[in-house]
Structure 1
């Protein structure tokens, strides 16, 4: 029997929420890891992580740490990626980056394997993971865009706090506990940790994710606009988005309305979605069956429901899309890119 080739893998930001899920996903999907190198900032050096029953000590993410690495999965913030990703590439690694640092660079493929896997081979050392809210939307819209073309997208998101990292997860837990105990909530993280003004997330909805741009949209909303166009390779798609943070730990939900270029048959739309890679349709209004964040949490698929024709626009289509933002929206998508490269070697 031919021995399976193994690859040396570095996970940068391994102690963070996404980094931990990257480790877990590599293990669960039995990625052919030879040497695992867990990397993080200096303050996390010495911490321990477990992979396939073995304990590893976290090392500092410095350029020299990438010697001999085949795949480097980054999720440690844009500034870290900007500094260290080129250093990893120089040492022979393929970087799969989960930050926004390289996404819109023309020479860097922005990849969701179910949508545009053909772009992986066009990399020059760095491949970018799209934003979590973008990933689940394009996975669901891919079969519709292929069949009918998409002219316009209006999306409103209901995003879990894990999208802002471990500090936001902790904040939701602490605020919820405090309020239920009759104590005041102390907001320190959301909507954006670096800003001076923060709001309670427990029992609330915050209509701001990331900072505001001059056009009145947040950076998160503009990511959905620009990244969707790049992934589909179509700058003519008109997209508007409103991104909202809600008190859910894991799982982003999205209300998506699209106007297709060609007329569509609703039965065919359902059939296309049911056969689409990475998509699971849960849609039976008569039985009150539809996807919810608690269904998606911990799952790999992107769930679609509430599929219905618009009442007034003949080519208008509404749907509800839910996915685990830390898995398919981050860790899983990165590992899938690496898996695709391994299969193509």
Structure 2
């Protein structure tokens, strides 16, 4: 199967992926143990689905017992501009790089399906008597993509817990092809973080209790995307103008000097999402929100949670110009939005 694997690698690279590796479905027992501890300590925050499907997440072999190999693929979304540039511009919002254009779930999955279909045809051609099958996953199924990618040799999980590669940096989306074809596994990736602490030290909310550990309850990405309801008042000032996600720990990684340019044009930032005006975003009603973020991953958090985030940014702006915006939302029908507006008013001149 070595020849088939190398043909698959060539096809994947030609299709826009920047890296490929293979591991066994049972290759991540240590990750399963870490996940159990993470959930037991409550560090998963409001991501209840992590606890509900922990058995599948920690044991890919249980998710699909017939699978013999997991093919992990990495697709770069490396930004063209400094992702942290807007943090010093308090009247505009900062949106995580991955969410500044089309939803990567759709784009990566379509590419995965194309490569997967090609692979299946090749496998059946090589062995017509075998009834081989595949399943593809991109971030929405109970699959631990980062540990699997590390086990497949694509890199390692850095101190910020994200996948990191000497060849690709850390601006990558991951996709998985589970298959009944037994492919030769790759050697797992080795850790090259060394003594570097850049990702840990830059975190605005101290969300890393220790290297290689994350407390999602303090992570800005979790707070602005997954967390429903009001954010702890002690954490709100630390959000700055980050209104969807956070890139700080990714952006400072020294290994990004080797980051591969994104090949997908639809990952390039939309002009209206590079430095969006907070005053404009705060006025969005549900219809306008859905229209503006059609096809964007931002759409899934809904208008109320998004405007809540915008109001926290307005409260952190120190701008008297934005006071009327917050005042207009202090009586919003959503209690979390009105709470955020009143909090903002209490901080503005």
Q: TM-score range by the shorter chain?
A: under 0.3
Greater share of strand: 1
Select the structure with the greater relative contact order (CA < 8 A; seq sep ≥ 6).
2
* TM-score (ref. length: structure 1): 0.24
How high is the TM-score relative to the length of structure 2?
0.24
